[in-house]
Structure 1
Amino acid sequence: MELAAGQCIRQGSIGVWKHISPKLAGIGYSSCMVCFYVALYYNVIIAWSLFYLGNSFQYPLPWEQCPIDVTTNDTVKECAGSSPTSYFWFRKALNITNSIQESGELNSIMTGCLLAAWTIVSLAMIKGIKSSAKVMYFSTVFPYVVLFIFLIRGLMLDGAIEGITYMFYPKLEIWANVQVWRQAATQVFFALGLGYGSVIAYSSYNPYHNNCHRDALMVSGINFMTSVLASLVVFVVLGFRAKNIALRCVANNLDLLSSSDGSDQHWWPWFNMSDPSSVSIAEYREWYGHYSSMAGSNITDCSLEEEMNKGIEGTGLAFIAFTEVMAFFPASPFWSTLFFLMLLNLGLSTMFGTMQGILTPLMDNFSFLGRHRTLLTVSSCALGALIGLLFTQRSGNYFVTMFDDYSATLPLVIVVIFETISVAWVYGTDRFLDDIEVMLKWRPPVVYKYLWKYVCLLAMVGLLAASLLRMVFKSPTYTAWNQSTASEMTLEYPGWALAMIVTLILLASLPVPIGYIHYTWKNRRVPNSLSSEGGGQEMHRELYTKCGSAEQPDSGAHQRLKEGPCLMVNENKMWILGEPVSETLQERDGKVEGGQS
């Protein structure tokens, strides 16, 4: 739907939804706000990748071992209580506070990395779509090469099979968890760029008769296969990590057993204590099932499945789990450099699409901004870097979590709901399919009509309602790092943070009702305005359908591919072949329909 809308109307998200339904023109502005939210915190992840990439050129890697406290000559307590990778992430990289209420000063190293990240994005975007496209050729292909390399290497690890088995083993009980469905929907939107406006922005550059239906199926299929490939790599690594933790647990418990008095009978004939490394997890668990009550409280169960169930999500997956596994690889700095180069490329390609979802609509709808592309790009990146300082203070990771969980999820679902309403119920699915038929020269299957009108809409409304109810009846929480216990704990957001969450959601959602109110108020003042829906809107649709390009002289619209005579509509003016025509649309309508244009 978004590919077809952008390609047909040849505008960014603001122009597309303004054309489809002036009443819901605010959808485009909401998409821009969501893109802005994502750009703010996503570039922080690129900054983290830059930091780890810089630290990868060391041997041994700085997160392979716990540091020594020079005052006591012992291992640093916080590191000994967790792990070298967790300590390096939370203390060396983030220098994190114990809660979101303790802001702390700016992290100077991360601030520098963030400024470097925004500089890279600005330089790549400054020349427009062509310059960013050249960069994306490499940034898109390179991650696939690295993923295949990591998959081949990962399959050689002990625990890889257990990880893959865990990945494909169904867990039906979690299907009832609304949070799982919300995260799944957000991931689909994020992976495909739906609701952000980036898909509309990029498709507006396509040739008018490009087969966008084929593109949609191809992109969805490639995205699915990419997700499977990435998931295989993740679970191979997690399986190796979980098995290592379980084996260390077995070794520690055997040490406790061997040092206890008179406990030889408890493990004989289960274990060969002369070679503790020969004891498997299954053998230990079988013994534990028989003698756990006699072994004492210090002896614990060692379950690989339990370690897999704990899991690691979010930033911890890349910066804790993967770094821990790569420390066991031969030539670990090489693997670390390769991995964080991949993360950097993935992050940059995502940022290019996100920024395009902001810049393209603004340049299309505001002529001044369109004529000063470089100024707009640099100013947007500078503003993002300034606001991004929120995420580089010591409590910044908690704000990244907040933005990721709330600022771009619920508003995104709301945007997609209104997009579907705009096309399926306001503009009409039949009219929309007519426009697609003109572009593709064949009509898409009728099943899309029912998917847009009922299935997708009801699913999104249900997801939104369930998410809102969950927020009302269960206070939002976040995971914090406690320095004294060297462990993570779940805390509730304070009142001011809850107010911030609500404000972020409202700021991204309000453009839709504000746009509707503005349109209604404007039409009451000028009841016969051409911008009103009905005949005028139908004329807009007809004229756009006949235009192979929406390039408008001196309008600030970004360059589109030209295909034959172009007719562009803007209020009561019309351009044909790039030249303004003095007659009104009503006077020219007969000539256009008669084919004289």
Structure 2
Amino acid sequence: MEKQPLPADDDKTETVESEVDALTGENRPQGLAEPAARAGWNSKIEYFLAQVGFSVGLGNVWRFPYLCHKNGGGAFLLLYVLLLLVVGIPLFFLELAAGQAIRQGSIGVWKYISPKLAGIGYSSCVVCFFVALYYNVILAWSLFYLGNSFQYPLPWEQCPKQGNITVKECEMSSPTSYFWFRKALDTTDSIDEVGSFNTNMICCLLAAWTIVCLGMFKGIKSSVKVMYFSSIFPYVVLICFLVRGLLLEGAKEGIIFMFYPKLEKWGELQVWLQAATQVFFALGLGFGSIIAYSSYNPKNNNCHRDAFTVSFINFLTSVLASLVVFAVLGFHAKVKVDACVASNMKTLSELYPQGLVNQTFNSSDSSPVAPELYSSWFREYGKNLPANLTDCDLEKQMKEGVEGTGLAFIAFTEAMSHLPGSPFWSALFFLMLLNLGLSTMFGTMEGILAPLSDRFKTLAKNKTKLTIFSCIIGFIIGLIFTQRCGNYFVTMFDDYSATLPLIIVVVFECFSVSWLYGADRFLDDIELMLGWRPTIIYKYLWKYICLLAMVGLLGVTTIRTIIKRPTYTAWNQETASNSDLPYPDWALAVLALLILFAMMPVPVGLIHSFLQDRKKPSRDSEAGQYSIVNTDETPMADMSELDLRNGFANSVS
């Protein structure tokens, strides 16, 4: 069976549309029309750079290593691969196939698959916008640190002094913590203290949005040119860091500490939940960006192979980043432990003449003491020593600051300050973070712009203006994150504004394809595209395993959010330390509104479809009535409006 192109590229489409409307007995929505000549990728390499660039982001560098370390090391890796195979890749394949078949953004895709759930696409756009707002702030932070990296010594290597006195807040914490909380963010003690705006961050945020706007100026034609650098450069940096890190003392201990398998962790529900959540967010499911990028592919592109390739590149990148992170953190921990042992040995040498030290430990020896020897001795005799002496534990040092911004802007930054040529490594690291964030931002913005342009003719004709306008709005709203308490808003948006809405979006996606439209019919459509039929296993994965996994994840996440008051980590200037504080009532109201606003299009779309059906009872709007891939052999009664339009266009031509 010969496949017809979808959508039609004939110039006579407008004439045909009126004939289609007469046959279907309804007026087409004014905006729902495919462009006469949709853009496409110049090569498969460009497409891979875009998909990999979007899915590989900051979470691969600072989220995955932390989860792996926290949840059993090698055991977590095995669990992650298992969930990737049975949940992540099938859902990723579903989105790739849907976008490629219909050649529309998320709004158009879900409207054609299931008119009753047309609001799914709009919800994806809203979530993408929320994510873009705070994600670009992280790029602004990276730009600030990148600009400060061209100094020697680095401004966060030493505590500043007021006269001859070291600043107390810095002395009580560390130079890197002080620079992050006081110089970069100038943060308040809580989210309630709104405070003034941070001028440096406003300038950096403006620069970040300007870069994104210039990169997206001509759609994928311009963004892909930037992706040649932004998607490849991070791998060059990671390999450089890995080679340098493996040569550092303590790197071996750091890597062993991370990857040592603790299989007993598999018995904890929390580990399964965090592994599933990481698979979900690592692939970028639900954003609509996967669908948008895939929609620019030719119909016969092997999206099944793409799903496996991109997913495993993403996983291997996470493993590579984890090797780098824990090699460097192992070195950092070794430096801290050696300093701790040296300090304690100095104290012990003063206590030794007083008989407070057991005679079996030769503390009078001036040669360096191995941390392992000191730790063993301390565990045996430490209870009888003064309280100011501590066990210099390597594992304890490895646990400090290994998550999120604490890893990138504090722990990793401090580790690099001990390297020879620290400004070079610092500039390289933050340039890598900037590029990782940019490639993800391009995908996020495409998840907004492509569906809207496909849905509305006016926006499609003015896509450049839409891009500029979106970036301006993003910058203006993003100013709330440049307040002195702005980093707390970033945490709030990151933890709650996208999590629940995205899971709900994917639940509806999976349900609409596998149950409303029909998994068998969807596999038929894929067979028409690819020329071969994927294994029937996908049918059962979509209908049962994936759907139940996402519903379970949604249920647990919702219950935990309700029964346990959400908290955030705040910096206390007086104690120079972090503390967990509950969100105030007004912040919880904002959280509820964000989630409600993101999900509102789904019920609105359902109600709208129901009302349309009542107005036109003869119209069958149930999903599964039409095939999303039309062929010459499709009966007229089973052809959708778009299929009819293509058929007429081909007959006229």
Which residue of 513, 518, 533 corresponds with 2:622? 533
- Indicate conservation of the 8 Å contact 2:237/2:432, yes or no: yes
Q: Please report how far the alpha carbon of residue 32 of structure 1 lies from its aligned counterpart in structure 2 after TM superposition.
A: 0.8
1:222 alignment partner in structure 2: 313
- Indicate conservation of the 8 Å contact 2:349/2:363, yes or no: no
Q: Please report how far the alpha carbon of residue 181 of structure 1 lies from its aligned counterpart in structure 2 after TM superposition.
A: 4.7
| Partner SS state of residue 194, structure 2 | coil
Q: Deviations over 1:489-512 (max 9, x none)?
A: 111111111111111111112221
2:18 alignment partner in structure 1: none
| Partner SS state of residue 491, structure 2 | helix
Q: Please report how far the alpha carbon of residue 285 of structure 1 lies from its aligned counterpart in structure 2 after TM superposition.
A: 1.4
Q: Please report how far the alpha carbon of residue 307 of structure 1 lies from its aligned counterpart in structure 2 after TM superposition.
A: 2.1
Q: Distance in 1 between matches of 2:344 and 2:363?
A: 14
Q: Distance in 1 between matches of 2:438 and 2:497?
A: 21
How many residues were matched structurally? Answer: 555
**Pair 171,485 (structure 1): closer, same or farther in 2 beyond 3 Å:** farther
1:27 alignment partner in structure 2: 120
The letter for the 1-side match of 2:286 is G
Q: Deviations over 1:141-173 (max 9, x none)?
A: 110000000001011112111111111123456
Q: Please report how far the alpha carbon of residue 424 of structure 1 lies from its aligned counterpart in structure 2 after TM superposition.
A: 0.7
Q: Distance in 1 between matches of 2:129 and 2:278?
A: 17
Q: Please report how far the alpha carbon of residue 52 of structure 1 lies from its aligned counterpart in structure 2 after TM superposition.
A: 0.6
Q: Distance in 2 between matches of 1:288 and 1:249?
A: 13
**Pair 184,502 (structure 1): closer, same or farther in 2 beyond 3 Å:** farther
Which residue of 107, 130, 135 corresponds with 2:221? 130
2:504 alignment partner in structure 1: 414
Q: Please report how far the alpha carbon of residue 92 of structure 1 lies from its aligned counterpart in structure 2 after TM superposition.
A: 0.3
Q: Distance in 1 between matches of 2:570 and 2:613?
A: 51
5+ residue gaps, structure 1, are: 548-567, 582-591
2:103 alignment partner in structure 1: 10
**Pair 572,324 (structure 1): closer, same or farther in 2 beyond 3 Å:** closer
| Partner SS state of residue 376, structure 2 | helix
Summarize the alignment of residues 188-203 of structure 1 with structure 2, pairs less than 5 Å apart.
Answer: 188-203=279-294
State the structure with bigger RCO (CA 8 A, min sep 6), 1 or 2. Answer: 2
Q: Distance in 2 between matches of 1:164 and 1:367?
A: 54
Q: Deviations over 1:355-393 (max 9, x none)?
A: 000000000001111110011001110111011011110
When structure 1 is superposed on structure 2, of 508-517 and 345-354 the one drifting more is 508-517
Q: Please report how far the alpha carbon of residue 287 of structure 1 lies from its aligned counterpart in structure 2 after TM superposition.
A: 1.6
Q: Please report how far the alpha carbon of residue 596 of structure 1 lies from its aligned counterpart in structure 2 after TM superposition.
A: 8.9
1:257 alignment partner in structure 2: 348
Which residue of 157, 161, 165 corresponds with 1:64? 157
Q: Deviations over 1:303-341 (max 9, x none)?
A: 111222344211111111111111111111111111111
Residue 117 in structure 1 maps to residue 204 in structure 2: no
Summarize the alignment of residues 162-561 of structure 1 with structure 2, pairs less than 5 Å apart.
Answer: 162-171=253-262, 181-260=272-351, 262-264=353-355, 266-275=357-366, 278-529=368-619, 532-533=621-622, 538-539=625-626, 541=628, 543=630
Q: Deviations over 1:507-544 (max 9, x none)?
A: 112221221111111111111236x126xx6346353x
Q: Distance in 2 between matches of 1:505 and 1:288?
A: 51
5+ residue gaps, structure 2, are: 1-93, 634-638
1:95 alignment partner in structure 2: 186
Q: Please report how far the alpha carbon of residue 175 of structure 1 lies from its aligned counterpart in structure 2 after TM superposition.
A: 5.1
Q: Distance in 2 between matches of 1:417 and 1:218?
A: 24
Q: Distance in 2 between matches of 1:379 and 1:158?
A: 51
Residue 50 in structure 1 maps to residue 143 in structure 2: yes
When structure 1 is superposed on structure 2, of 220-229 and 235-244 the one drifting more is 235-244
Give runs of ≥4 in structure 1 deviating > 6 Å.
none
* Percent of residue pairs identical: 65
| Partner SS state of residue 231, structure 2 | helix
**Pair 507,178 (structure 1): closer, same or farther in 2 beyond 3 Å:** farther
Which residue of 215, 223, 231 corresponds with 1:140? 231
| Partner SS state of residue 52, structure 1 | helix
1:554 alignment partner in structure 2: none
**Pair 84,546 (structure 1): closer, same or farther in 2 beyond 3 Å:** farther
- Indicate conservation of the 8 Å contact 1:147/1:229, yes or no: yes
Q: CA RMSD in A?
A: 2.1
TM-score normalised per structure 1: 0.89
TM-score normalised per structure 2: 0.81
Q: Distance in 2 between matches of 1:325 and 1:546?
A: 63
**Pair 177,307 (structure 1): closer, same or farther in 2 beyond 3 Å:** farther
The letter for the 1-side match of 2:569 is T
Q: Distance in 2 between matches of 1:42 and 1:3?
A: 24
